[in-house]
Structure 1
Amino acid sequence: MTELPAPPQLPGWTHTYSGKVRDLYVPADGDDRFLLVVASNRVSAFDHVLEPPIPGKGALLTTLSNWWFSRIGIANHLAEAGDGAPVVPAEVADRAMLTRRLEMYPIECVVRGALTGSGYAEYRRSGAVCGIELPAGLEDGDLLEEPIYTPAYKAPLGEHDENITFERSAELVGPEVAAALRDASLAIFTAARDQAAERGVVLADTKFEFGRDPRTGELVLADEVLTSDSSRYWDAEAYGNTGLDRAARLASFDKQIVRNWLAAHWDRTGTPPELPAEIVERTRERYRELLERLTA
């Protein structure tokens, strides 16, 4: 993976971790109740962080996460300002979430309302996705009669997540927690899918992460939620237009533009090339369009 740039130094906070697109901070005074999650403008593909970043991406994703959090009827990780919480620095306020510290479950809770991507590839091989048998004859992009829950094990840093069966998730976190993760994920997806449909958008699939509040034992929705980076959205009008080719019907509101350009201009050896300004701008507009379509 490409070496990450140095994270910003934030007054009142100590940097603890950086992923490909997010930076995490804890209060400098040692208060273990809070965490600051800062979404960067970095964009990644094929396990590399690319240059240049996408201007405004972090703010767009954070705004969309917060919008969805306000519409989901389950406890989430957002913390209230005050009560001794450190102040969120102004320089990252538009792309930061002040959150509760949680004990995170090692399960990525994937819900698929359509058969595409890695799920379609697995279906082609076995007729099933994560142990769930599906009808024969399905094509890439077909909507499923009912959404399916296909969890993944969150692998250690530097390794790839592993698709697992529900039974395996129960072995990892216990049957009661596994069932709660599944039921919450399916409920959130179904409600979000219906809201997106009202705005002319198809929610094809998404992934959630949950944690346990160590003080209450409560199941808490965490991380980003239903954003362009964690979900696959399609334009409903284009999806329903069978006169278009598959790529046009399934054009997603995310960084697929970046992936496509990189796949055509890089053999995945050495350092990836710098993204052209046109690709950066088109990607930014795709993120912005989804936010405006959903929240208008």
Structure 2
Amino acid sequence: MTATALPGWRHLASGKVRDLYAPEEGEGPFLLVVASDRISAFDHVLEPPIAGKGAVLTALSHWWFDRLGVADHLAGDDPSAPAAPDEVADRAMVVRRLEMHPVECVVRGALTGSGYAEYRRTGAVCGIELPAGLQDGDLLDEPIYTPAYKAPLGEHDENITFERSAELVGAGTASALRDASLGIFARAREIAAARGVILADTKFEFGADPATGELTLADEVLTSDSSRYWDAETYGAGGPGRLASFDKQIVRDWLSANWDRRGEPPRLPREIVDRTLARYAELYARITGEAPSRPE
């Protein structure tokens, strides 16, 4: 993976799909987070990228940050903050540096994915006992908070219990992370439901403001890459397609049918690339009521 060279910014690190920069001069309070068009699945970055994906996800994060009513990491109107370079302005966020907590805050409003797999083995998810007889995709009476330990770059995150999260960050911070996550999820689920979309689960990341210690929402938020959304009408109709999500499941399904997960993955066909971008854009339009556009 090669990050874009940006005038005035120094590349710090890259994950599978995002790049992080700091101003070239000094170690100031701001960073630049750029959502690339790269797409990953099964621990591989795939070719070709999904052109336009980074802009859609960034625009959706901006939309949600504007409506959640919590402290977030966006630099906003701070006059001392540098502007995002024109080359990446539609897929970049200028943010304040935070002291990040090593806990990924996962909230599940439905039982599916890895949570359902764990439930089938143990009857619980991250130590939380659930009623017997639940099926894949069942909505939970109350959302549950199932944190994960954020592993070092290149390693897998590890699902943990709330008690383990308290050992990592302290009991007070662990409770604050849980309460903030559940509160944001409740607000977002209500907004999504009014638009005919079910927010099944999501993950949040938080840090502490180094000056005040205030708990601050960071990273992307409530995007197709960090959240699972279902169409409420399709879900209610039942059938095998009721859990079709607005994300890269199209890519995962195609790879599963065309690759044995040995060696390098095959190149994605144009049709799969186009359908995946369309699915991302469809969620943005459903949530915001507008076609994807460059955030202000």
Question: TM-score normalised by the shorter chain: which range applies?
Answer: over 0.9
For 1:162-201, list aligned pairs within 5 A: 162-201=158-197
Compute the RMSD of aligned alpha carbons: 0.8
Distance 2:44 2:108 in 1: 26
Q: Which residue of 2 aligns with 1:249?
A: 242
| Residues 158-195 of structure 1: CA deviation (Å, up to 9, x unaligned) | 21111000000000000000000000000000110011
**2:83 paired residue among 80, 87, 101:** 87
Does structure 1 residue 206 correspond to structure 2 residue 225? Answer: no
Q: Give the aligned residue type for 2:247.
A: D
Counterpart CA distance in 1 for 2:49 and 2:128 is 38
Deviation string 1:66-105 (CA, Å, 9 cap, x unpaired) is 0000011110000035533222110100000000000100
1:223 paired residue among 219, 234, 255 = 219
What fraction of aligned residue pairs are identical, expressed as a percent? 74
Counting only pairs closer than 5 Å after superposition, residues 1-40 of structure 1 correspond to structure 2 as 4=1, 6-40=2-36
Q: Which amino acid aligns with 2:210?
A: P
**Which residue among 142, 145, 148 is the counterpart of 1:146?**
142
SS at match of 2:164: helix
Count matched residues. Answer: 289
- Give TM-score, length-normalised by structure 1: 0.96
- SS across alignment from 1:202: strand
The equivalent position to 1:113 in structure 2, one of 99, 102, 109, is 109
For 1:43, the aligned partner's letter is I
Distance in 1, Cα, partners of 2:127 & 2:199: 22
4+ long deviations beyond 4 Å: none
Partners of 2:81 and 2:56 lie apart in 1 by 24
Q: Which runs of 5+ in 1 are unaligned?
A: none
TM-score (normalised: structure 2): 0.96
For the residue of structure 2 that corresponds to 1:78, the secondary structure is coil
Does the 8 Å contact 1:81/1:87 carry over to 2? no
Matched, 1:271 2:264: yes
Find the aligned partners of 2:24 and 2:152 in 1 and give their Cα distance.
Answer: 26
Q: Give the distance between the partners of 1:275 and 1:144, measured in 2 at CA.
A: 35
